[in-house]
Amino acid sequence: MNTSDRTLKLYNSLTGKKDVFQPLHEGHAGMYVCGPTVYYDVHLGNCRTFVSFDIIYRYLNALGYQVRYVRNITDVGHLTDDGEDRMAKGARVAQLEPMEVAQKYTVGFHDMMRIFNTLPPSIEPRATGHIPEQIEMVQDILSRGYGYERNGSVYFNVRKFDRENPGIYGQLSGRVLDELMAESRDNLKSQDEKNDPADFAIWMKARPGDIMVWKSPWSVGFPGWHLECSAMSTKYLGQTFDIHGGGNDLKFPHHENEIAQNQGACGCAPARYWLHTNMLLLNGKKMSKSDGNTITPVELFTGDSPFVSKGYSPMVVKFFMLMAHYRSTLDITDEALAAAEKGYRKLMETNRILQSLRPADQPYDGSESAADRAILDGIDTAFSGMDDDFNTAIALASLSELGSFVHKIANKQLDAGEVSPWVLERLKTVFNAFIVDILALQDELDAAGDTGTVEGLMQLILDIRANARTQKDWGTSDKIRDGLAAVGISVKDGKEGTSWTKG
RNA sequence: GGUAUCGUGGCCGAGUGGUUAGGCACAGGUCUGCAAAACCUGCUACAGCGGUUCGAAUCCGCUCGAUACCUCCA
């Protein structure tokens, strides 16, 4: 597809409305997404965010953009409430080297992303691998007068930045600096070093016992949490780039501070479009480890949790996520997942049937039937949905409507001649493109492995049953069907022979 | 307390000034040796109260409720 064929609109948190996407460089798109902090197993909410951005990445690709997708790994600089580095804390608890902790959970994170069938980003930079770049950015900020040093730590001067660049700080999160100050908590250790409570650290001097430390012109220490994204997005995407994404909860302070840092360092705005995904809820509440209202991806897959009656496969969970728009909160409930499971399986089966359909032999007379038009409309709706801020719910709804045509053709309820061969071909192509390339829903029946053997066995069994049926030997026929049902395979007798599905 | 977002039918969840979202569930029907699936039909809503408008679920105000953020967060 050519990038100019369609108008893509995306909801920009910066402007608070849907903006038409106009890339900085024709045909190219640069996207930075805040990645995980690798101090613990990936959280389900992370999965939703990264699945959402994977769809965005894939759709930009499908539209013909050459996309550079950068998603970082945060392996330093994240302070916990008591001021200790998250990585170091994880290491102390597990008696591991910090980098061992980072490696372990990075691998776990990658495995989970693969399970959800997401594409790896183009570049996946680590914070610890970009200490010089971060130090350089601190220097840039200092030289432009927006930072100050206190006892070896360097702070960003929010008040001064706001005074000299009015309207920037707070624009993304809709905050007013004065109110922030009034409400600001005072529980950070370094608070007394700051000129102003709204200021934040861009370089922290190490305290005794800190193990993840580097030399800098100011002290032996470590970079502030917000700094890595500013430094790495600049390095790989340039000072100004197209899209910046992340979870809604990063809007403030992280993204707000990130913008301030970039502006402070180069005097220019970083991303032009800011995209934020919404939270995943469990039974109406935000997931939280402390009050027990949480479920891990693995628990969800295995069903080993009081919140679900059974396990739901990764693709069912992904389908469930895609049924909602990425900017809406999504509530995980057992009933909703069960509904998603049925919907997912039906969609997969529909695609299998569709791909095996052969166009009618009749010559095309050039006319466009009502069915042709309806199918073409449905295809257009699916794309329009994606063009409208990546509305996967609309895309899935269109696929569902298109699916009924597939079954009608397969069941001969719609005369094959009613659908022009080229329309059927287009439907096959688009349907598959949506499922495989854009929404990236794997057919778990295919992915189960060893399908060759199973196919062969099923072929044989169904042949025997077909013979029994032609002889009206219903006893044998039903015995086979019931036996297969007992191992989870359902047999369906159609006009064109018998098909089967698992599960 | 401040800020933001949201409140849609039995459930989930799109839409956002005038026309069917979709899925799941449910009820009838068609097809079928029976069944399942599929297809058809039905059920059918926009928290409450005011206002703007020829017309509002959609815009505005208030009330109630929910969720999130307010320097740990995807």
| pLDDT at residue A382 tops 50 | yes
Residue A467 has what pLDDT? Answer: 82
Residue A119 has what pLDDT? Answer: 96
Average the pLDDT over each of A48-62, A70-84, A130-144, A280-294 and give the range with the smallest value.
Answer: A70-84
pLDDT band at A186 (very low <50, low <70, confident <90, very high): very low
Nucleotide nearest A197, CA–C1', reads B71
A464-472: average pLDDT = 84
Residue A187 has what pLDDT? Answer: 41
Per-residue pLDDT tens over the stretch A248-301: 889 988 999 999 999 999 999 999 999 999 988 887 777 777 677 888 999 999
Question: Residue A299's CB: how many other CB atoms inside 10 A?
Answer: 16
Q: What is the pLDDT of chain A when averaged over all its residues?
A: 86
Residue A425 has what pLDDT? Answer: 93
How many angstroms separate the CA of A148 from the C1' of B44?
A: 63
Of A223, A288, A225, A286, nearest to A253 by C-alpha is A225
Residue A503 has what pLDDT? Answer: 63
How many angstroms separate the CA of A9 from the C1' of B7?
A: 26
Nucleotide nearest A332, CA–C1', reads B12
Q: Between these two residues, A479 and A91, which has the higher pLDDT value? A: A479
Nucleotide nearest A342, CA–C1', reads B24
| pLDDT at residue A183 tops 50 | no
ipTM of the shown complex? 0.91
* CA distance readout (Å), A205 to A129, A202, A343, A449: 19, 10, 54, 53
Task: List Cβ neighbours of A500 (8 Å cut-off, separation of 6 or more).
Answer: A458, A462, A484, A489, A490, A491, A492
Task: Classify residue A16 by burial, with Cβ atoms within 10 Å: 0-12, 13-18, 19+.
Answer: exposed
Q: Give the DSSP letter string of A191-238.
A: GGG-SSTT-EEEEEEPPTT--S-EE-SS-EEEE-TTHHHHHHHHHHH-
**Contact (CB, 8 A) for A51 and A442:** no
How many angstroms separate the CA of A496 from the C1' of B30?
A: 18
Residue A87 has what pLDDT? Answer: 63
| pTM (two decimals) | 0.90
Distance in angstroms (rounded) separating the CA atoms of residues A389 and A403? 24
**Contact (CB, 8 A) for A274 and A265:** no
Residue A72 has what pLDDT? Answer: 94
Q: How many helices (H) and strands (E) does chain A have?
A: 17, 16
**Contact (CB, 8 A) for A102 and A152:** no
Structure-block tokens of residue A361? 């032999």
H or E, element range at A332: strand A330-332
A203-217: average pLDDT = 87
Residue A4 has what pLDDT? Answer: 67
Distance in angstroms (rounded) separating the CA atoms of residues A153 and A196? 14
Residue nearest to nucleotide B39 (CA to C1'): A408
Structure-block tokens of residue A200? 């934040």
Chain B bases near protein Cβ (<7 Å):
1-6, 11-16, 21-25, 31-40, 66-74
Of A214, A220, A218, A181, nearest to A197 by C-alpha is A181
